[in-house]
Structure 1
Amino acid sequence: MINEFWQDESGFVVSAELVLIATILILGLIVGLSSIQHAIVSELNDIGDAAGNANQSYWYTGFSKEKDDNNGFSAYTRGSAARDENDDCDNDQCEIACDDPVNEGPKL
């Protein structure tokens, strides 16, 4: 009887082992997915910094054609200009993730 019990591979022991293995795998997946999320956020932040560092200022002059009798313009277009200013989150000026932990406030 002891020998049969020792060689028995079905029952609670195997189920407990499977639950333990599944729990460890799920915890590992959560940690791994969290690491992937932080890596993706970091790379997207780098792309945003690259776009923010690009100088997006521009200007162009207008042009015109005077009439043959010097009585005004037969066609003209105005020039335009824009100057790039720093935005709020250019060059990592604001933090997107990983805030410091904060205690809960009082229950009202």
Structure 2
Amino acid sequence: MIRMFIRDEAGFVVSAELVLIATILILGLIVGLSSIQHAIVSELNDIGVATGNSNQSYWYTGFSSEKDFANGGFSAYTRGSAGNDTQDDCDNDQCDISCDVPVNEGPKSL
């Protein structure tokens, strides 16, 4: 049984070359995913800027139906409305999202 085990050449042998190739592939994958992440964040920022630049103001008039012209009575009416879009804090890409500087932990207490 030991002779069969020693002479057996079937199976996968992990060698230094395979570990090196796998390491290089994983590092390349991490760099590629990082560049994809930066591209997606840039495109989402463009969409946010475009949305912030759109004017969302509106207005519409009301209408009325007079029943008695002499006394000024109304049979039905609705009021108009208006909304004015003002500039928000982060419109036109004015906000910077960044990480804070790392700080050391304080002493632990119970």
With normalisation by structure 1, the TM-score equals 0.76
Q: Could you list the runs of 4 or more consecutive aligned residues of structure 1 that deviate by over 4 angstroms after TM superposition?
A: none
Q: Give the structure 2 partner of residue 19 of structure 1.
A: 19
Q: Give the structure 1 partner of residue 45 of structure 2.
A: 45
Q: Give the structure 1 partner of residue 35 of structure 2.
A: 35
Further displaced range: 61-70 or 36-45: 61-70
Q: Note the 1:57-96 alignment, pairs <5 A.
A: 57-71=57-71, 72-96=73-97
Q: How many residues align?
A: 95
Cα distance, 1:39–1:70 mapped onto 2, change above 3 Å: farther
Q: Give the structure 2 partner of residue 102 of structure 1.
A: 101
Provide the C-alpha distance between the structure 1 equivalents of 2:43 and 2:86, rounded to a whole number of angstroms.
24
Identity level (%)? 78
Query: 1:11-58: CA deviations, max 9, x gaps?
Result: x8x711111111111111111111111110110110111111010001
Provide the C-alpha distance between the structure 2 equivalents of 1:88 and 1:30, rounded to a whole number of angstroms.
35
SS at match of 1:88: coil
| Displacement of 1:90 | 1.1
Provide the C-alpha distance between the structure 1 equivalents of 2:69 and 2:79, rounded to a whole number of angstroms.
22
Alignment gaps of 5+ in structure 1: 1-11
With normalisation by structure 2, the TM-score equals 0.75
SS at match of 1:67: strand
